[in-house]
A and B are shown apart, each in its own frame.
Chain A
Amino acid sequence: MSLFIALLTKEEFSSLLNFGEIKIYYHQFTSFTNDNINENIHGLLLSTNYFEYAEEYVFVTYHYEESLRETKHEVKLEDIEKIYPLDDHSRRELENDFPDLKIDKPAFADTYRRYSDEVFNINIEKGVSAFREICGLDKDIYDKSILSKLHRGIDFRINSTKYFNIPIDQRDPISMLIAYDRFQSYSNDLIGYFFDAADICTFYCAKKIGDYVDPVFKKSPYYIVLENVSKYSRNLWIDQIQKSVESSEESNKYLEKANDTFGHVMLPVVFLYLRNIINEGKDFKSIEKNIMEVQKKFGDIFDDVSVLIGGFFGFKKFSTDLYYHKKLRIFKNVNLATTTINGDFMASKCDNPKDPLTGKSELTKDTSLENDINVQGGDETNIDTKSDMQGGGPDIKSQVGNNKKDVEDGNNISEGKDSGENVNNEELSVDKDKVISAFKRAVNNNQNKITLFTKIINEFGEKSVLSSSELNDVCKRIDDLKIATESQSKKFSGFLDDMKSGSIFNK
């Protein structure tokens, strides 16, 4: 009898316990007795499909008659000698899941860590290829020298080494850029990315280390330039801000330094911009539009930026978009416009600069409104439990049915036409002021809610009339915000229905 070691999935391990035996296949085991055990175990790990979490697998050692080894053999529970988790965390998990079992220390944790780093690096490079393919670039042909800097920057992030604390001798501008997070209170408009870029450039060029509570280039003439431009840059896109900044002679020294440092003065700006909008998980269509605009305006650096973006987020982030891009057979025919990058919608108001290109300032407003609602709800005593909806009352609800039907029969909502084009064709159009008055009645003049509601209405532009589809949008937004308390939700639904149908304005 010889000793072998096999790598089992947790499900296979459970099967071994439940049925007392398990089939082990050729690629799953190796001899446990030779001198190259770590290399063999590394080989076992590489022979599996990629996995993310150590607790998904477990090693078992077992005795078996070597002469009987075939491509597949059955091992019985009584032949198992030891159980080795892959790392400390999975050991604890196994102990919790199987409290009766003796779980050994993770004897091959270093080998697993090596494998895990390799998989992580593969994910980075697959991310580069995926993002480039989605962007219509060659997925394999790009400047590979940038990869090592990308890897180093990601390592800094994983180890929680902030950009300003990276040892001087380990710095390069790209890895600092990757490691960068904004800790200063720079503008939350697009010009904020110009401040970020100068911040990184200062730390790199001045060879300084450590955290500073004030911007490190505050005494620079370039800081004054950015402050001045920020006074009127709110509605400018990145290229327009760039022109404004470059038109000042005071910027020349910085521009020269930044060009030397990053290869192109706009590389950090464009990277941080794309990183932020992707991190926020805006719907794919809006991101695609931004990406196309970046490609159009900054084509000379987009090749490098695409490598940084793809690697920073990795394959998992872009996998779904890539599958749709490739029109894979197993995917339903979902309109790209309704999909999102990896379904990850984490929103962050603080890092949500306004983007005039796609009306992102409106989206910023959305977030703030939702935060308002949320934080208002955070204090239990701030929520009106009885008076919120009294103004809506049963009268509103009684009129829902007929009017709703009239609208659905008569207008273009069901055809999904664009609201802006269809205003004239729709039967219903209502003055904003009437909508607000109706809402006031519904919420019994609750000032907080009226303020929020008015903001939503005003986001539909300057015109004083709302179309049916705009009204529907308003209703959806209000419904999403969950302004009503649970006890009032039925009345509130009635109010929204009346809004959609227009019956509320007859009151």
Chain B
Amino acid sequence: MLKAWMVPYNQLDPDQRQFLSTYKSINKNAWLVGFPGSGKSVLLLHYAKKILDDNPNASIVFVVFTQAMVELFKTGLNEIGIGHQPVITYYNFYQGDYSYDYIFCDEIQDFTETMINAVRSRGKIVIAAGDSNQCIYEKDPKFREATVSAEGPGILLGANKVELSIIHRLSKSIISAIQKLLPMINIWQSKTDATKADVNIRLCKAESVNKEVGFIYSKIEEALNVKETCAILLPRHDIIVDFVNHLLESLGKQKWSESMNSYGKPNYKMLNIHLKFNNVRLMYVGNGYGSLSNAEDDEQAVIMTYHSSKGLDFDNVFIPFANEDLYISANDYLSKTVFMVAMSRCKKNLYITHTSFRVSSYVQPFADKCSKINISDNSNEEGNLGDWNNLPF
């Protein structure tokens, strides 16, 4: 995922090229807005490269939200030959007091007002990227301060909003589904690229929860056996424990007796030990527990929350319990955004599974575009494999 994600200058789209030519010349704060995959982060790096080409002594810093993004940016900076420039997390930046000629911020929609003010006060020029449409936190996870309002980044930074509206990364099927889930978002596809592999979205109905989780696990084992990555994404922690215990039950293993950590949250370390002890190829990752690299090394799937999955991608993504009563948060728009984040993590197969008669309202808008699978006999709308008695060879 980290390898060579930068796009060379001659492959930038017109919006991107125009931003680089225009904003570098006017040299003022800017706020890049655009959907995931529209190239916001790539542009921050190109911009920095141009600045440093003109003035190698300019002091710059990249401020990003997660450690995953730190790694991603460092990879990109190396690719364009400025790998020595600092990339730090939002929290690390807050703890410091250095001032810079240029501060480049990513995922600005998840910043708080306090943080944006800090960025502005410590940078002569601030170039920010991030779209309020993609905000997945109402409050900062650590400081509990509200994240900025929709237009907040532009106002607080005194920056012009520059919109990037062509999507280069997501597959056609996922873009199409997102357009139906969030029709108010301006999302356009780079239309002429037929070389990108599409994602197959499968909507799978089971008769019972145990059959649902059993089906998911069987598909996970198949995928892990050929070295593909798998993630099970769920909206809340209580449902994660619920899923795991249904899985253990369906496999005839002992359920996990939930224990809590000192913060009153599930002690996932103990859960991971329990899963390993029972030879279940699954690991919880997030909140300081588990490790994606270990999961991949040991050919295990990961289970995590929708929120934790932001910025990651997997070959196969499973979204279980997508029933009519699926609850993500009280804020409907935020819930849809978080659901969109979860479903856009996949590179090959997206399995959305449910047991209720009707699927969740988050899925309904694009359900007609999904392959419908009946888990009980692996049949689709056209029939099951039992019909294939007269194979041509």
Contact = CB atoms under 8 A, between A and B. Distances in A.
Nearest to B383: A210
Contact of B378 (A214, A257, A317, A383): A214
Given A185-B223, A185-B225, A211-B373, A376 B293 contact: yes
B186 interface: yes
A347 B3 contact: yes
Interface string B288-308: 101111111100000000001
B232 to A, nearest CB: 15
B293 A372 contact: yes
Interface string A376-388: 1111111100000
B218 to A, nearest CB: 9
Contacts of A342: 11
Contacts of A379: 67-68, 285-286, 288, 290-292, 308
A349 B227 contact: yes
B393 A217 contact: yes
Given A208-B382, A451-B297, A312 B194 contact: yes
A19 interface: no
A93 interface: yes
Interface stretch (A218-226, A290-298, A300-308, A461-469): A218-226
A160 B165 CA distance: 20
B173 A160 contact: yes
A451 B315 CA distance: 23
A48 interface: no
A399 interface: no
Given A89-B188, A93-B15, A160-B172, A452 B229 contact: no
Nearest to A275: B195
Contacts of B66: 378, 380
Interface string A105-146: 000000000001000100100000000000000000000000
Nearest to B370: A211
A254 B393 CA distance: 5
Number of chain A interface residues as a range: 35 or more
Interface in A337-352: 342-351
A233 interface: no
A377 B219 CA distance: 27
B4 interface: yes
A192 B198 CA distance: 18
A217 B392 CA distance: 9
Contacts of A202: 391-393
Nearest to B87: A486
B70 interface: yes
Contacts of A222: 393
B14 A181 contact: no
Among A89, A192, A221, A451: residue with most chain B CB under 10 A: A89
A317 B226 contact: no
Interface in A342-377: 342-351, 367-368, 370-377
Given A89-B165, A158-B194, A448 B293 contact: yes
B388 interface: yes
A465 to B, nearest CB: 27
B333 to A, nearest CB: 21
Interface stretch (B41-49, B72-80, B149-157, B247-255): B72-80
Contact of A312 (B70, B195, B228): B195
A265 B67 CA distance: 48
Nearest to A160: B172
A346 B315 contact: no
Interface residues of B, number: 83
Contacts of A209: 382
Nearest to B201: A211
B121 interface: no
Interface in A160-201: 160, 162, 181-183, 185-188, 192, 198, 201
Among B3, B67, B86, B311: residue with most chain A CB under 10 A: B3
A279 interface: yes
A350 B228 contact: yes
B226 A187 contact: yes
Contacts of B311: 378
Contacts of A216: 385, 388
A396 B15 CA distance: 48
A250 B293 CA distance: 41
A14 B165 CA distance: 20
B348 interface: yes
Nearest to B22: A97
B392 A375 contact: no
Given A312-B195, A376-B291, A370 B391 contact: no
Contact of A482 (B8, B71, B92, B315): B71
A343 B11 contact: yes
A188 B392 contact: no
Contacts of B226: 185-188, 192, 350
Interface string B363-393: 0000000010100001011110100111111
Given A205-B393, A217-B391, A374-B1, 13 more contacts: A52-B13, A208-B382, A211-B200, A211-B373, A213-B378, A219-B388, A281-B4, A349-B229, A374-B71, A375-B312, A377-B68, A379-B68, A379-B292
Interface of A: 10, 52-53, 55-56, 89, 92-93, 96-97, 116, 120, 123, 154, 157-158, 160, 162, 181-183, 185-188, 192, 198, 201-202, 205-206, 208-214, 216-222, 253-254, 256-258, 279, 281, 312-314, 317, 342-351, 367-368, 370-383, 448, 451-452, 480, 482, 486
28 contacts: A53-B14, A93-B165, A158-B192, A160-B176, A181-B200, A183-B349, A185-B228, A187-B226, A206-B388, A206-B392, A208-B388, A211-B200, A213-B202, A213-B219, A219-B389, A220-B393, A317-B195, A343-B8, A346-B4, A347-B4, A375-B293, A376-B292, A377-B71, A378-B292, A379-B288, A382-B288, A382-B290, A480-B75
Question: Which 9 pairs across A and B sit closest by C-beta, in order of nearness?
Answer: A375-B292, A345-B4, A211-B371, A210-B382, A205-B392, A378-B68, A381-B288, A372-B293, A377-B71
